[in-house]
Amino acid sequence: MLFEDMLVPSCPPRSSAVDSRTGNKVAIKKLYRPFQSELFAKRAYRELRLLKHMRHENVRASPAPSLAASLASSYLVMPFMGTDLGKLMKHETLSEDRIQFLVYQMLKGLKYIHAAGVIHRDLKPGNLAVNEDCELKILDFGLARQADSEMTGYVVTRWYRAPEVILNWMRYTQTDLDQLKEIMKITGTPPPEFVQKLQSAEAKNYMEGLPELEKKDFASVLTNASPQAVNLLEKMLVLDAEQRVTAAEALAHPYFESLRDTEDESKAQKYDDSFDDVDRTLEEWKRVTYKEVLSFKPPRQLGARVPKETAL
């Protein structure tokens, strides 16, 4: 069934609609010029395959990816959440209970994504959708790559770049250097063994020329956070990525003891990105993309009203 047949337009914003089969409100993402070039087509195909692969309650997978018949425009249709964490934080101060629940869900989603061998690469408040029940889903896999791929700085939203991404990106700007200094005002300057591991000679020279800064006492910086929250953040905000706590390790921290249910943590299958090394013409990318759309079987949505003709 085509996109136009499945959805009934709702009130503004234009990025939402109502699924006429279930009555559920859905969000619509229009992919920007997905078939403008072979590169754009490959990116659109990658995002669609990633969304199809991810089956986790805290990762927004598309329940009905749809293309217009001509393939001139592509839309991803997803559960409607209402807002994102960036907007939420601008409008209200979150209690620690809500912060704890939101971070817990984010880490569950990240554990699943990383277990699939994927790194999101643009994780930021604007890419964390939140609904009125404080349920969270990770959005936007357009920049995702397998974990062993090169991590370059230009693809990551500036203020959310990890320090290792900044340090291994050759084209330093004053903003990048200012951001590194702000990070090290809290974490302190790293030891020589960390500097020697850097791939960029320019980064090594820059780090060796910095004055020594001591690590701040996190409790004195995060005065409104509980001791367990401070302890967890200290483990998360470690300059050396090899020493930093992983999402899976963070979930096991006592801070989440009251929330955690290990049986609720979905197991991920490894994502196959072998197509990344394939060169195709634009028409070939259109064909394989359309094939992915046709082969998609959306997960059963809890509480959805299923028409008699499709009910089991």
| Active site members | 122
Q: Are the C-beta atoms of residues 138 and 160 closer than 8 Å to each other?
A: no
Q: For residues 25 and 259, give the distance between their C-alpha atoms in angstroms, rounded to a whole number.
A: 28
Nearest 10 degrees: CA dihedral of 190, 195, 201, 207? 20
Q: For residues 20 and 25, give the distance between their C-alpha atoms in angstroms, rounded to a whole number.
A: 9
What are the structure tokens assigned to 184, written together?
């090290």
Q: For residues 306 and 304, give the distance between their C-alpha atoms in angstroms, rounded to a whole number.
A: 6
Q: How far is CA 149 from CA 118, 121, 310, in A?
A: 9, 11, 42
Q: Are the C-beta atoms of residues 267 and 115 closer than 8 Å to each other?
A: yes
Q: Are the C-beta atoms of residues 175 and 158 closer than 8 Å to each other?
A: yes
Q: Are the C-beta atoms of residues 138 and 173 closer than 8 Å to each other?
A: no
Strand partners, 8: 18
**Cα 144 to chain centroid, rounded:** 8
Q: Are the C-beta atoms of residues 108 and 74 closer than 8 Å to each other?
A: no
| 174 CB-side CA count, 13 A | 0
